[in-house]
Amino acid sequence: MRWLACVLLAACSPSFVRAEEPTAPATPTYGGTVWTRPALTGDWNGLRDRWAASGLVVALDATYTFQTVTSGGFDGPLFRRLSDEGDTGNVFSSDLGLKLDTARAGLWQGGLVDVQASARAGRSVVQRAGTVSAVDINALLPNVEDRFDQAALAVTAFIFTQRLGHGIALFGGLLNGTEGDANELAGSARGNDHFLNSALLYSLVEDASVPNVSLGGGVGWVPGEHLSGSVSAFGASETAGENPFERWHGTTVSTEWTLAYSLADRGGAQTFGALYGVGVSRTDIHVDPRLAISDLLRGTPVSTSDTDTWALYYNAHQFVRGDAEGGWGPFARLGVSDGNPNPVKWNAAAGLGGIGLLPGRRGDRWGLGAFYLGMSNEKLLKGLGVNEEVGGELFYNVGVTPWLHVTVDVQAIGAALPRANTSCVFGLRTHIDL
């Protein structure tokens, strides 16, 4: 019953949930015209607003991503199959979320229940692009490892949170790993209004010890107006699409702290995180679809031993003009790991991002970023010819309405994998809040 011990002894994973003030969310409203309401289907003749006022918030969205490898990518007979299947990808994904505020529901004070389910269908160009970093984060989520580029459905969160006062909250349950390492200007793995490439959305050194879905728990603390943090423990093996009570292999201890501040009256923040995985399976790391090396390693003997692994990561952003309602500024990410068994030794990313670039377009987002992946010096990867990876991405996200956003995206990546030429990828993503 190691999972139960982790829920009882730890809580509030920063790698799973943003470190923020543990208070009840504001009650949303869904009324308005089709051009102004926050969700396409509106307030359901008032039912949705009544549910929200009573503590139950229902959120549903759908995303379609089209990408094409315009040049480069995998070449040679080993990966001819990928070329034969085409240079274009179409991925459909959807998320359903239910949030219950126990106080508004008339139950007890300070409780929050968060349930999420995710589905995905279609075939992507993630492997065809020949890169370690995924050129489309939506193609990986939910991360059902044996359903990559196939239809997948999974419960991705079932979290109970209890606020204790004095800025302290405890929670535990089935946690979602895409919440952590968020950045105001660069985004996070969970968002659909920033970059598409995973290397710009979080530090890839985290993948070895932070699954997409896992049992765990922790404690979050907001000691002051500008500082928030958390400490947590959770299972290190991926359980998306699996029975989480039957798949616990390794344990990760995590902490993440965010310092927010103003510089010349412009907002900014810095986030520091640390991960330590105990008894992590080497084979789990090498087959994880989030790092596109599984095809390369197919048929290659991989050690089945368990080992410890660690990683440190950092991200920061600073508005130089305006704020989160309309402004722009630079962002940066850094990560470093043991490099063995973690396939990524270190990563770096930086760029510019903003909201409302053009006059009258305050609902639009944009970003320009570059990243570098320093791969492990482990004999297995070096023997296969895996090298460093450098890439860049430019996107513009058009807020057509509050519930409809369309992203135009271009990427160019000098891949780390052997027999992969520099990939140029064009993408178009449509996201609808239902």
**pLDDT tens-digit series, residues 95-124:** 999 999 999 999 999 999 999 999 999 999
How far, in Å, are 105, 154, 331, 433 from residue 57 at the CA level? Answer: 11, 20, 32, 13
- What range does the domain containing 13 cover? 2-433
**Paired tokens of 377:** 């010096």
- Residue 156 above 60 pLDDT? yes
**Paired tokens of 362:** 């305050």
What's the CATH number where 428 sits?
Answer: 2.40.160.180
pLDDT at residue number 16? 42
pLDDT at residue number 281? 72
**Entry pTM:** 0.88
Q: Which residue, among 95, 26, 92, has the nearest Cα to 60 in the 3D structure?
A: 95
- Residue 393 above 60 pLDDT? yes
Beta bridge partners, 315, equal 271, 333
CB 389 within 8 Å of CB 133: yes
With H, G, I as helix, E, B as strand and everything else as coil, classify residue 428.
strand
- Residue 2 above 50 pLDDT? no
Q: Strand pairing of 56-74 and 420-433?
A: antiparallel
**Paired tokens of 116:** 């999420």
User: First CA to last CA across the chain, in angstroms?
Assistant: 39
Tens-digit pLDDT profile for residues 290-324: 766 655 555 454 555 678 899 999 999 999 999 98
**Paired tokens of 262:** 């103003």
d(CA 155, CA 152): 11
Average pLDDT, the chain: 87
In the chain, what is the greatest distance between 2 CA atoms, to the nearest angstrom?
64
Helix H or strand E segment including 53: helix 47-53
Give the mean pLDDT of 197-201. 97
How far, in Å, are 162, 327, 377, 380 from residue 338 at the CA level? Answer: 35, 37, 10, 15
Q: What are the φ/ψ torsions at residue 281 (nearest 5 degrees)?
A: -80, 130
d(CA 142, CA 57): 22
| CA within 13 Å, CB half, 69 | 28
pLDDT at residue number 75? 61
- Residue 5 above 50 pLDDT? no
Q: To which residue do tokens 């040679």 refer? A: 76
**Paired tokens of 337:** 């790991």
> Strand (E) positions, 199-325?
213-221, 227-235, 251-263, 266-281, 306-318, 321-323
**Paired tokens of 173:** 């349950």
Instruction: Note the residue count of the chain.
Output: 434
Domain count, the chain: 1
CB 351 within 8 Å of CB 367: yes
- Residue 218 above 90 pLDDT? yes
Residue 84 CB-density burial (10 A; 0-12 exposed, 13-18 middle, 19+ buried): exposed
Which of 173-177, 178-182, 335-339 has the weakest average pLDDT?
Answer: 178-182
Q: To which residue do tokens 């274009």 refer? A: 88
